[in-house]
Structure 1
Amino acid sequence: MRRTFKAGLGAEVAALALLAGLASAEAGSLKIESWRNDDADIWNSKIIPAFNKHYPDIKVEFAPSAPKEYNAALNARLDGGTAGDLITCRPFDASLALYQKHQLDAVDGIKGMDNFSDLAKAAWQTDDGKTTFCVPIASVIAGFIYNKEAFAKLGVSEPKTLDEFHAVLEKFKKDGTYVPLVMGTADQWEAATMGFQNIGPDYWKGETGRANLIAGKERLTDPQYVAAFKEIAGWAPYLGSGFQAQTYADSQNLFSLGKGAIYAAGSWDISTFRGQAKFAMGAFPPPQPAGTTDCYISDHTDIAMGINAASKNKEDAKKFLEWLTTPEFATIYANALPGFFPLGTTPVKVEDDVAATMVGWRQTCKSTIRNSYQILSRGTPNLENELWNVSAQVVNGKLTPEAAGKQLQDGLDKWYKPAK
């Protein structure tokens, strides 16, 4: 028998009941957008259950997209009004564009934001630094991971200076048992990220040089930038046969199999090596050039989270972001994903020994972020993408360090006019 509501009070009551039910569902549920589809199990088994101990009535769904598809898919959902309540934020311009389109809310008023330094928030702020639109989650650190068994076999120690680094590489080359330094140039970005941006901050003095480059007070043809290119150009004899055709995956595999002595690394590699390598590993920061006293590390802001401006459940979304600022979340995240380091000022105990070593460099070295990311890659040619190609060609011996700096600066000059 088909039932119908009579027009009038009955229908009105039914409609109100339906609206109340929808409001209740919205008030008790959150959906997270993310490109990190490789850590879904960690969110579902560790992070969300920990949050629910504090807020058992808030249902949280982690709904990631494939990394390469994330930006386009997220933009389509935001434009169409179907995106989740919480948006995982890439650093700098991609997220800034969402804020400028009024698709992300400011988060300056979120409780716990004072737990982050200006540098930690810089990747998710307006250019003037006055508004923050995502809560920082983690950064990644560049350096060198090494095979402890290989070092013990040849009787060498962690190098602290570039002279010592070169001596260690030469010793491994003469021995012939291991590829001295594992890094390929086929995918290009490794030469920039784990090469130039890894050792470069010691030359341009970290944040000082990065700020000067943005301000136009320094140029990529200056001696400090050319010197960084000269250093990575000198790596070629130690990278092993066929490194020009070696992909990032090839490099990971080669080192995991114990065939390499030193790996030019990003801390995100730790999890991969933990699942594959059968030998003990250590890590050392970028060896310092002669005559330097202060050390700098690439401690690059990588991931954050913000609120969809169109969310119907902003109060619960704010509760989730407030929880992300706590040491509880930071501890879970840092140890579930070794190599992704919390950005809060409250110390967090990192259990993985290699990850603990790398994050410990923050105590003795000054942190900086990759100098091509903020502002300088908004035009054509894109400095970040140009840096990939140029760095790879320098290592391949196809471009001199001086020509590399000139090509980058000429490209930047075509569109970038520093604010006076």
Structure 2
Amino acid sequence: MTLTIESWRNDDLAIWRDQIIPAFEKQHPDIKVRFAPTAPTEYNAALNSKLDAGTAGDLITCRPFDASLELYKSGRLAALNELKGMENFAPVAKAAWSTDDSKVTFCVPIASVIHGFIYNRDAFAKAGVSPPTTEGEFFDVLSKLKGKLRLVPLAMGTKDGWETASMGYQNIAPNYYKGEEGRRALLAGKAKLTDPQFVEPFRLLAKWKPYLATGFEAQTYPDSQNLFTLGRAAVYPAGSWEIASFNKQAKFPMGAFPPPVAKAGDKCFISDHPDLGLGLNTKSPHAAQAKVFLEWVASKEFAALYSNALPGFFSLNKAPVELRDPLAKEFLTWRSKCESTIRPTYQILSRGTPNLENEFWVVGAGVINGTLTPEAAAQRLQKGLSSWYKPAQ
């Protein structure tokens, strides 16, 4: 019999087919596995259609928080509390795939991604600059890169919107609202998005504009990736998920630095966001075999295999993993230096209309484009949230 895995990670097809699945099948020759991804932008709709039609795969790759929670609530994902291996994950790792009261976990946590900045080491050496640690140093480095090199200092566009939220605001903002402390204050209604600690990151984003490429307003996410990997830009506001593809495409040595703090001596915070898990389709005709696969996914062996096959996707398993990739290692060191938090819009705060995450896409682009002030952006976000979220009212 063959198990089918539904996923949006179509760029990972070769890794699952050539490395991960053969390792499992070697131990379980009676169980075959097929990885069947859909394009990321189409995944949610395609998956729901398949689930409705009864044609979805046995195993469902789970997005974090609300999208997967809805699948569990509607009876599409099975509870996995009793699955062997779930004890290998701390409560914070399971939070993205658990009910709000934390009583039921419905996906095995696989990996998180970390935000920061990837840079061209050769460009930094030519400009005589070092990775910045503070906000002031950051803009000083960008100014020197712009003045001394014929390179774009920052590779980011505003066309796709989500870039400005994910690699922009959600990357740098935790240092200002103090990570989990600020995020939980928002959830509790004890803080507002118009408070200074949430507005200040928008002011910083507005200051990125002079360092972006000419025509950045029409620059897409793939454009940004190409600008950097072709050596035409010096710094890439990044998620660690870029590491594997950048390693293949860039012909220059790369380094990484965490989001700079406001001033020297400040505690640092990083967005260390749960990215994907794996769940069991309640209608799977092969539930017993699917659970065997999920138990393997919850193992230390899988954690090491996956983390090294896909550098930049960091295992959520409690077992320590020895990484081989130097850039991935650099990102991972930040966990021991800084406090981790998740993206502020992903848990609960994007359940209503307007959707807070999608609103961040719009206002982030507006602030960088110069069509929206930081204060107006924050007011729009808070007004939208207050319109449906009771604690924010």
TM-score, structure 2 normalization: 0.97
User: Among residues 212, 216, 236, which one is paired with 1:239 in the alignment?
Assistant: 212
Distance in 2, matches of 1:252 and 1:59, equals 35
Distance in 1, matches of 2:203 and 2:91, equals 32
- Partner in structure 1 of residue 33 of structure 2: 60
The 3 A distance-change label for structure 1 pair 238 and 403 is: same
Q: Percent identity?
A: 62
Moved over 6 A (4+): none
Q: Secondary structure at the match of 2:76?
A: coil
- Partner in structure 2 of residue 258 of structure 1: 231
Q: CA RMSD in A?
A: 1.5
User: Among residues 67, 77, 84, which one is paired with 1:111 in the alignment?
Assistant: 84
Distance in 2, matches of 1:59 and 1:348, equals 27
- Structure 1, unaligned stretches of length 5 or more? 1-27
How many pairs are equivalent?
393
- Give deviations 1:271-315, integer Å, cap 9, x for gaps: 221221110000000011126632111111111101111122222
- Partner in structure 1 of residue 137 of structure 2: 164
User: Among residues 269, 272, 277, which one is paired with 2:245 in the alignment?
Assistant: 272
Q: Secondary structure at the match of 2:165?
A: helix
- Partner in structure 2 of residue 145 of structure 1: 118
Counterpart code for 2:197: Q
Q: Secondary structure at the match of 2:204?
A: helix
Q: Secondary structure at the match of 1:375?
A: coil
Distance in 2, matches of 1:42 and 1:79, equals 29
Distance in 1, matches of 2:32 and 2:66, equals 31
Tell me, yes or no, if the aligned pair for 2:385 and 2:392 is still in contact at 8 Å.
Answer: no
User: Among residues 117, 124, 142, which one is paired with 2:97 in the alignment?
Assistant: 124
Q: Secondary structure at the match of 2:61?
A: strand
Distance in 2, matches of 1:291 and 1:252, equals 31
- Structure 2, unaligned stretches of length 5 or more? none
- Partner in structure 2 of residue 281 of structure 1: 254
CA apart distance, 1:419: 9.1
Distance in 1, matches of 2:160 and 2:330, equals 28
Distance in 1, matches of 2:177 and 2:101, equals 23
- Partner in structure 2 of residue 389 of structure 1: 362
Structure 2 residue 325 is the aligned partner of structure 1 residue 352 = yes
Distance in 1, matches of 2:265 and 2:282, equals 47
Distance in 2, matches of 1:44 and 1:135, equals 20
Distance in 2, matches of 1:419 and 1:405, equals 13
Q: Secondary structure at the match of 1:418?
A: helix
CA apart distance, 1:73: 2.0
- Partner in structure 2 of residue 325 of structure 1: 298
| Structure 2 counterparts to residues 17-416 of structure 1, below 5 A | 28-290=1-263, 293-416=266-389
TM-score, structure 1 normalization: 0.90
- Higher radius of gyration, 1 or 2: 1
Tell me, yes or no, if the aligned pair for 2:209 and 2:369 is still in contact at 8 Å.
Answer: yes
